[in-house]
């Protein structure tokens, strides 16, 4: 293994530079990223305090660390793709002789104290994300239990959740946008199915229709779009994003059937479902949107899904 500089507490971290702190803080609350990062960070800090160079961890050791976090906050199964995604120039993981470690270049300008704070922040963000998911489930359950004529209460919750775009709230946007589109197309006899349940990255979702995939994300970077376009080459796709720029349209013009923005989810898809509910003085469509979202959150929250028996099956 290549030599790795150990840090004793003195450093000159520039918060604007790219180091481990800046890289990982971009992933606060993202459980499949931090489920890999935290065990590696723990190993590095233990070795540093012992005055030795970390030898890194095997994948089995990383998986064990992931599962320990899963018992507390994550409630997701480990998959090797979670580790593979963090390798390469854009990642934070190196591999030498079958053992994985944090990228040494990202550690050069950090101190032990900074890494201790980082460790606390990462773990705290997982705890916060877990609590947010539990709260989302509770609010969905409460709203679903309202009488059928409480249409505007259901609409308000759907709109609120679609507008939560920052940090781990992106998971909420992704789940609810799927629920809206699934219910909208169901009314016309078409079906959307989620296929990224097991290997979803941080709540990210993709779903598919009969001959196209829908790729939904709150990451509006060009880099993310390029990664999405590399998935399933030759497959027709629809992009679901908060906003669309000319640069995004130009990059995907020959690979994307259509792009759906947040404003279109609100002004067209939800508006259409709402108009039908108002026509029949009920909230059948919005209720189904909330129930689909509730089932998806319960699917993510393994602690609840084990004992969950759905009352309405949406096919």
* 51, two tokens: 């005055």
SS (H, E, C) the chain: CCCCCCCCCCCCCCCCCCCHHHHHHCCCCCHHHHHHHHHHHHHHHHHHHCCCCCCCECHHHHHHHHHHHHHHHHCCCCCHHHHHCCCCCCCCEEEECCEEEECHHHCCCCCHHHHHHHHHHHHHHHHHHHHHHHHHHHHHHHHHCCCCCCHHHHHHHHHHHHCCCCHHHHHHHHHHHHHHHHHHHHCCCCCCEECCCCCCCCCCEEEECCCCEEEECCCCCHHHHHHHHHCCCCCCEEEEECCCCHHHHHHCCCCCCEEEEHHHHHHHHHHHHHHHHHHCCCCHHHHHHHHHHHHHHHHHCHHHHCCCCCCCCCC
Is there a contact between 29 and 125 (Cβ–Cβ < 8 Å)? yes
Residues 185 and 284 in one domain: yes
- Spatial CA neighbour of 165 closest among 243, 264, 273, 249: 243
Is there a domain that residue 3 lies in? no
What is the average pLDDT across 211-218?
Answer: 80
Give the separation between CA 266 and CA 260, rounded to whole angstroms. Answer: 10
**Lowest mean per-residue pLDDT among 41-50, 171-180, 265-274, 303-312:** 303-312
* 6, two tokens: 């150990």
Is there a domain that residue 219 lies in? yes
What is the band of 308 on the pLDDT scale with cuts at 50, 70, 90?
Answer: very low
Q: Is 96 a residue whose pLDDT tops 80?
A: yes
Residues 199 and 63 in one domain: no
Residues 264 and 167 in one domain: yes
Q: Which residues contact 177 (CB under 8 A, 6 or more apart)?
A: 162, 216, 240, 260, 265
Return the CATH number at 222. Answer: 3.40.1350
Mean residue pLDDT of the chain comes to 82
Residues 117 and 165 in one domain: no
Question: The tokens 């053992």 sit on which residue?
Answer: 99
Give the separation between CA 182 and CA 285, rounded to whole angstroms. Answer: 11
- Rounded to the nearest 10 degrees, the angle between the axes of helix 271-279 and helix 151-162 is 170
Q: Is 39 a residue whose pLDDT tops 90?
A: yes
What is the band of 283 on the pLDDT scale with cuts at 50, 70, 90?
Answer: very high
Is there a contact between 292 and 314 (Cβ–Cβ < 8 Å)? yes
pTM: 0.72
**Lowest mean per-residue pLDDT among 23-32, 34-43, 161-170:** 161-170
- Spatial CA neighbour of 87 closest among 74, 71, 103: 103
Residues 107 and 224 in one domain: no
pLDDT for the residue numbered 182: 92
How many domains, the chain? 2
Is there a domain that residue 301 lies in? yes
pLDDT for the residue numbered 165: 67
Q: Is 222 a residue whose pLDDT tops 90?
A: no
Q: Is 311 a residue whose pLDDT tops 70?
A: no
Residues 120 and 161 in one domain: no
Q: How far is CA 45 from CA 1, 33, 108, 233, in A?
A: 17, 18, 14, 41
Q: What is the pLDDT of residues 197-209, one digit of tens each?
A: 443 444 445 666 6
pLDDT for the residue numbered 221: 78
pLDDT for the residue numbered 17: 65
Is there a domain that residue 290 lies in? yes
Give the separation between CA 21 and CA 299, rounded to whole angstroms. Answer: 31
188 or 133, which is more confident?
188
What is the average pLDDT across 243-264?
Answer: 83
Residues 76 and 177 in one domain: no
Q: What is the pLDDT of residues 3-19, one digit of tens each?
A: 344 443 333 334 446 89
What is the average pLDDT across 149-161?
Answer: 94
What is the average pLDDT across 23-31?
Answer: 88
What is the band of 54 on the pLDDT scale with cuts at 50, 70, 90?
Answer: very high
Is there a domain that residue 138 lies in? no
Is there a domain that residue 135 lies in? no
Q: Which domain holds residue 289?
A: 148-305
pLDDT for the residue numbered 15: 41
Residues 161 and 279 in one domain: yes
Q: Is 315 a residue whose pLDDT tops 50?
A: no
186 or 229, which is more confident?
186
What is the band of 289 on the pLDDT scale with cuts at 50, 70, 90?
Answer: very high
Residues 94 and 205 in one domain: no
73 or 210, which is more confident?
73
């Amino acid at each position: 293994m290549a030599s790795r500089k150990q840090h004793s507490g003195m450093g000159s971290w520039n918060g604007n530079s790219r180091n481990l702190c800046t890289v990982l803080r971009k992933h606060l609350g993202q459980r499949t990223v931090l489920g890999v990062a935290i065990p590696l960070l723990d190993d590095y800090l233990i070795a540093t305090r012992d005055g030795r160079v970390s030898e890194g961890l095997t994948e089995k050791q990383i998986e064990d660390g992931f599962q320990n976090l899963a018992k507390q906050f994550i409630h997701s199964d480990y998959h090797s793709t979670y580790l593979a995604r963090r390798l390469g120039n854009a990642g934070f993981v190196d591999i030498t002789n079958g053992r994985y470690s944090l990228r040494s270049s990202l550690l050069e300008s950090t101190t032990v104290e900074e890494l201790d704070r980082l460790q606390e922040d990462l773990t705290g963000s997982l705890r916060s994300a877990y609590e947010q998911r539990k709260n989302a489930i509770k609010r969905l359950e409460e709203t679903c239990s309202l009488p059928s004529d409480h249409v505007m209460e259901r609409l308000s919750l759907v709109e609120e959740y679609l507008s939560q775009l920052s940090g781990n709230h992106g998971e909420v946007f992704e789940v609810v946008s799927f629920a809206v589109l699934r219910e909208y197309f169901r009314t016309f006899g078409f079906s959307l199915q989620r296929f990224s349940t097991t290997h979803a990255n941080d709540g990210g979702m993709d779903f598919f229709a009969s001959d196209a995939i829908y790729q939904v994300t709150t990451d509006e970077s060009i880099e993310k779009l390029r990664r999405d376009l590399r998935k399933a080459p030759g497959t027709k796709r629809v992009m679901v994003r908060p906003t669309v720029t000319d640069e995004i349209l130009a990059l995907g013009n020959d690979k994307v059937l259509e792009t759906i923005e947040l404003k279109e989810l609100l002004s067209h898809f939800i508006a259409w479902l709402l108009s039908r509910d108002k026509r029949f003085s009920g909230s059948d469509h919005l209720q189904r949107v909330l129930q689909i979202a509730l089932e998806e959150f319960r699917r993510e929250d393994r602690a609840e899904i084990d004992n969950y028996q759905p009352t309405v099956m949406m096919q």
